[in-house]
Amino acid sequence: MSQSSDRTSSRGRRLRGVLVVVLLLTSPLGSGTAANAATAANTANTSDTASVAGSDPTTQGRRTLTGTIEGADFRVEMPRRWNGTLVLFSHGLYPAESAPWPPEIRLANRTETDRWLLEHGYALAASDYRERYGYSLEPALHDQLALLDWFDVNVGQPHRTVTMGWSMGAVISVMLAERDPDRFDGVAALCGEFDANGTWNAAPDISYAVRTLLASGEDIDLVRASDPAGSNQALMQAVERALTTPEGRARLALAGALGNIPGWYSAHQAEPTELAEKLRQQASWTQWAYV
């Protein structure tokens, strides 16, 4: 599915100092519904070998195209009047325990975003990755480029291609442009987790603090756990209990400080001003991202 060098050269596009737009208007995985814009006039189901009617960037008509490439499902939404720009979206990390959420392939961080883009003539595309759940960069990079190749052949070569993603998807978006700069004109990195190793290393520290300060004496394994789900549940419950007392909230703040965790959980909502609410929102990060 790789693009040949002569095709790349013919496009004559260079990513001069990739523009990384860091938008801090994203939320964690649970806030915001998945993209599902207006019903498409035509839907074409495709596979690795099937194709839809080819077109060039001037072809008009609202369409939804779906299919599977090398085990990775994909979704493409074409506006009624394409402006020639394609936005290739990379979703963030979906925890294995969240399956089958979300039920659809997302095309942006919010429904309003993909709706606005489609209304203004942007084409949207996203692979759901063959490894949909968990931290998986290399397969996602391969699947996104395979989808871009498919789009060039079956829909048309875009005049411009912007790669966009949130959280882990922001990392994928930047890596796509770094590795194949001739194919991308811009990057929109939303709340990117660019130091994943740092995050993974911080999680045991925060979990240790929660266990020591809030669940002393409980049988909670942090490494080589005999009952990972049970240990995780015990830590989550310890956080919930701590939120009910001033002493508990103070200890939660200390645990959160180890990871420099903010007291604002979702930028889709107003930033809290009351200390108790800031601590509650910081605790949500602790629960859903670290313990």
Q: What is the pLDDT of residues 25-68, one digit of tens each?
A: 333 333 332 333 332 333 344 444 333 434 444 456 899 999 99
Question: What mean pLDDT do residues 206-215 have?
Answer: 95
pLDDT in tens, 100-155: 778 899 999 888 999 999 999 999 999 999 999 988 899 999 999 999 999 999 99
User: In the predicted model, what is the mean pLDDT of the chain?
Assistant: 82
Kindly report whether the peptide bond that precedes residue 95 is cis, defined as omega within 30 degrees of 0: no
pLDDT per residue as tens digits for the range 272-287: 999 999 999 999 999 9
Q: CA–CA separation, 139 vs 131, rounded Å?
A: 7
Is 159 in the same domain as 205? no
Q: Which of 136, 160, 190 corresponds to the end of one domain?
A: 190
Q: Which domain holds residue 43?
A: 5-190
Residues 106 and 127 in one domain: yes
Same domain, 217 and 181: no
Whether 268 and 159 map to the same domain: the answer is no
- 53 in helix, strand or coil? coil
Check residue 234 and give its pLDDT: 95
Q: Give me the mean pLDDT over the 202-220 stretch.
A: 93
Q: Tokens 């194709």 label which residue?
A: 51
pLDDT at position 36 = 32
Among 129, 158, 190, the domain boundary falls at 190
Residues 67 and 100 in one domain: yes
Please report the pLDDT score of residue 98 as a whole number.
72
Instruction: Give yes or no for residue 186 having a pLDDT over 70.
Output: yes
The Cα–Cα gap between 37 and 4 comes to 33
For residue 96, pLDDT over 90 is answered with: no
Dist. CA 197–CA 205, nearest whole Å: 13
